[in-house]
Structure 1
């Protein structure tokens, strides 16, 4: 058969590149070139991933993860993502302390301890940290997970909501790190993990305070990493930041109800917890985007302005 759907394949030489027409099997040549390109691309990606990981870890290995010797302190561990992280740590028999103003909505495992703490208050954090130190020792892992979020335009949203979002999502990180980082530096061992958001990279309509707080958290993570490396020369203290897309938690229930498209693209708390535990167990610092294929979002601000605005427009329309 010389023609399929009206295409005459006997006249290939009229549209096929001349240097391939002379070859007996041009498709084989193209396949080989494509395979070579894909292999080269994969090698570049692998090399880039290797160098990035080594640099983020200061070119030194962390001390081996020993579940029985680690002490994790997590904020906002009473529900949502924090609850899942606590339960997963408990399965690994890791001793865990929760700082939260909300009582846990689940029975605490034997190796999990709850402290009622207002993490927006430096005084409250210091008092709880002193008590935790006497009762359990110094945390080797700090997970800044607590977060709040409210939907509303800049004009309509109450001042109280805006202040609380910034205090919980951003300022609390300063007070907690000031309290627990010194012991990590002294022992040259520890890991500080921040739960951020894809909103770190893009501000959308209806969530100006939330996006601002997460962009600030990303800057905080970057500065903290530099200070640990250069101001304190503590090369085995790791810093990680996790940027999930929408996660199905009580925090975004209102958004789930109003936007079916968002609901269809939802991650689970388990997805985020798995990423956190992988960083801890492997002793790796760095930035993690969930799902992984959205990692390209980190280059958003490097795109032409018109393209940036098209991306923001698309996602703002989904939630406003």
Structure 2
């Protein structure tokens, strides 16, 4: 905000400067007309920059429950406990590693064992719980074990997700149900299990991992796109309920929208070939994890868009522009298959 005020003050100063009264030759080797043009660009450029900066500041303020200064003193990451679904491999494993590097104890919920990428020192701060997150009973059992072993978690990162490839007519119903169970419904189960602990402590951070598919639906991946768009609605509703129903603005809520990232999903033949065809540049899992953990450590709520900044604004564009963007992605997902 201070930077925004400085920019605004600078633009005001430039607006009242009269280039006709400036000794151009004594300051720089510019003519009166050249100096007048320079000042015109500077004052309008600084004004625009100030508006953009102010908008960013207001967005952060709104995302953090209209709280101007967050009390971060209640967070001691050496004693915090985080739960990460799908944390055994891929992006989830990178997130776990980075959380551990900050001294946070991590409980991993996954059906597969921890990958070999974890060092012994990292494993000392990690507890693995074999858990099918589509089962409410297994989540409840894992939660009870976590509280007994590590204490009540203050951080929940719903990272687990799968991808399918198949048209609306072709996708088997079993695959469709599994997609919604893992990518969407599991968020209800984990939040219902761990949010009460956070409310009791009046401290917490819940993060959902969505996708740029939250904003642009993909042909051949209607189910995936639906779950990610629904996660955005889930995040917004959760934010409102924490703030207005439970009167606990101290609990942070974040949602992450990564672009195509190197993972089991993008390595699937039905998707990999399409990405190569459009020349897509894939994000590294480590970079996505870095952005996610940075958000946790900063103790801030909000949306993280790891891709074109225009992505969240696509729905506000004219329909013909939206359709051009969707057309450009129409052949990324081809064939049939699943990463589950």
- Unmatched 5+ residue regions in structure 2? 1-29, 335-340
Contact kept, 8 Å, 1:246 with 1:262, in 2: the verdict is no
Aligned residue pairs total 296
* TM-score normalised over the length of structure 1: 0.88
Aligned match of 1:86: 96
Contact kept, 8 Å, 1:63 with 1:236, in 2: the verdict is no
- Unmatched 5+ residue regions in structure 1? 1-22
* Aligned equivalents of 2:325, 2:115: Cα separation in 1: 38
Instruction: Give per-residue Cα distances to partners, 1:259-310, cap 9 Å, x unaligned.
Output: 315664111111111111111111100001003xx12111111122122111
Does residue 83 of structure 2 align to residue 73 of structure 1? yes
Contact kept, 8 Å, 1:238 with 1:283, in 2: the verdict is yes
Aligned match of 2:72: 63
Does residue 310 of structure 2 align to residue 302 of structure 1? no
Does residue 60 of structure 2 align to residue 50 of structure 1? no
Contact kept, 8 Å, 1:256 with 1:262, in 2: the verdict is no
* Aligned equivalents of 2:140, 2:320: Cα separation in 1: 47
| 1:317 Cα deviation from its structure 2 partner | 3.2
* Aligned equivalents of 2:216, 2:240: Cα separation in 1: 23
* Aligned equivalents of 1:141, 1:80: Cα separation in 2: 19
Does residue 293 of structure 2 align to residue 277 of structure 1? yes
Does residue 131 of structure 2 align to residue 124 of structure 1? no
Aligned match of 1:200: 214
| 1:27 Cα deviation from its structure 2 partner | 4.1
Contact kept, 8 Å, 1:188 with 1:236, in 2: the verdict is yes
- Match of 1:227, SS state, is helix
Does residue 112 of structure 2 align to residue 96 of structure 1? no
Aligned match of 1:7: none
* Aligned equivalents of 1:163, 1:314: Cα separation in 2: 28
Q: For 2:327, which of 278, 290, 313 is the aligned residue?
A: 313
Contact kept, 8 Å, 2:274 with 2:331, in 1: the verdict is no
Residues 119 and 153 of structure 1: CA distance in aligned 2, closer, same or farther (over 3 Å): same
Instruction: Give per-residue Cα distances to partners, 1:177-212, cap 9 Å, x unaligned.
Output: 000001111111000011110000111101100000
Q: For 1:38, which of 23, 38, 45 is the aligned residue?
A: 45
- Match of 1:155, SS state, is coil
Does residue 281 of structure 2 align to residue 265 of structure 1? yes
Moved more, 295-304 or 187-196: 295-304
Does residue 224 of structure 2 align to residue 217 of structure 1? no
| 1:312 Cα deviation from its structure 2 partner | 0.5
Contact kept, 8 Å, 1:90 with 1:109, in 2: the verdict is no
